[in-house]
Copies of this chain bind each other. A is one copy, B any other.
Amino acid sequence: MALLKRKSDVIDASLKDFLPPRGSSAYAEINDYYEMLWDYNLRGGKRLRPALVFFSCEMFGGDSSKAIPSAVALELMHNFLLVHDDIQDASELRRGKPTLHKIYGEGSAINAGDGLFARTWSTLNANRKLIGATKTLRIFKEFAEICNYTVEGQALEMGLVRKGRWDLSEVDYYKLVELKTAHYTTTYPLRIGAIVAGAPAKDIKAFNAFGKPFGTAFQIQDDLLNLVGEEGKYGKEIAGDIYEGKRTLPLIHLFRKCNAKEREALVSIMNKPRSEKTEEDVQLVLTKMKEKGSIDYAREKMTAFAKEAKAIFEKKFAHVAENDGKRAIKLLIDYVVERQV
């Protein structure tokens, strides 16, 4: 998408400024660690979160070049979360390449994730000269909140997997999505851009109401792409969520539509450890989903959330004059639903 591409070029260039210079350590082992950071951060990726920071800043008349450290920090934090998430889920592919722990081993990948988190923090220090002490502190607080929410979301998701629990409702699913995805993918990036621009408190807060359906639509599309995407484009394993036992909307729908006997069979497949799930197991789940309309259901729900997000955006931000930033955010609602990556 051209809109994202323009911003992702800025992020790619700026990321390099905030990563440790390649080969700059006297120790080969520390340079290896730097390479891990460079490799992972420059594999590409949508750069959706930093783009939202920039557009929200522009929407409120801010200079988006002043949002660069916050946008870069958000991308670093995102990548920190992905590195650890890949270990936790035993994922093998990320952005079309082997995951870091597959290349370097788990211990070094845990450490590289920690390093990205540490870099998130040091990158935010650059805010001080650009936007002053008050906003810098405000943004530190936003980041601390996002991290705490996201870790709780991960704890919830992994806890459900560990306990083999499939008795969760759609409401539970939406809470999980809010914690593990919506806060850090949509709500907080938008809040942070608005803070850089100096937007009124009411407008910053309005992004909470908007970010939730927007982020939920994003996650449902992620659930769907994981099932029906093209591996070459998508960059992750197809049906990886089924292998990993993830609680996704199509699966929750499927559980609801199954009778007791079908449910029992489904639980026994889904609770197998990843290494014991066969391709046949996964195909069976996919077939059942198609049979029960679970994929269509999730697609409808996604569309409804995107529509809700649009309506909230129009209502909450009616007083903000049309401008490029505002238009871009609206376009991104459609993008989130239509994306193939």
Contact = CB atoms under 8 A, between A and B. Distances in A.
A115 B134 CA distance: 25
Contacts of A148: 115, 118-119, 122
A155 B118 contact: no
Contact of A114 (B28, B111, B117, B162): B117
A87 interface: yes
A77 B84 CA distance: 18
Interface in A81-106: 84, 87-89, 105-106
Interface in A151-193: 151-152, 154-156, 158-160, 162-163, 172, 175
Contact of A111 (B27, B29, B158): B158
Nearest to A26: B175
A333 interface: no
Contact of A159 (B108, B125, B147): B108
Contacts of A155: 29-30, 32-33, 108, 111-112, 115
A87 B110 contact: yes
A156 B108 contact: no
A101 to B, nearest CB: 11
A160 B29 contact: yes
A28 B111 contact: no
A298 to B, nearest CB: 22
B163 A29 contact: yes
Interface in A225-263: none
A107 interface: yes
A107 B87 contact: yes
Interface residues of A, number: 53
A308 B234 CA distance: 58
Contacts of A150: 118
A143 interface: yes
A303 to B, nearest CB: 28
Given A122-B144, A140-B140, A30 B115 contact: no
A16 interface: no
A118 B155 CA distance: 13
B140 A108 contact: no
Interface string A106-133: 1110111111011101101100100001
Residue from A106, A136, A143, A158 whose CB has the most chain B CB atoms within 10 Å: A158
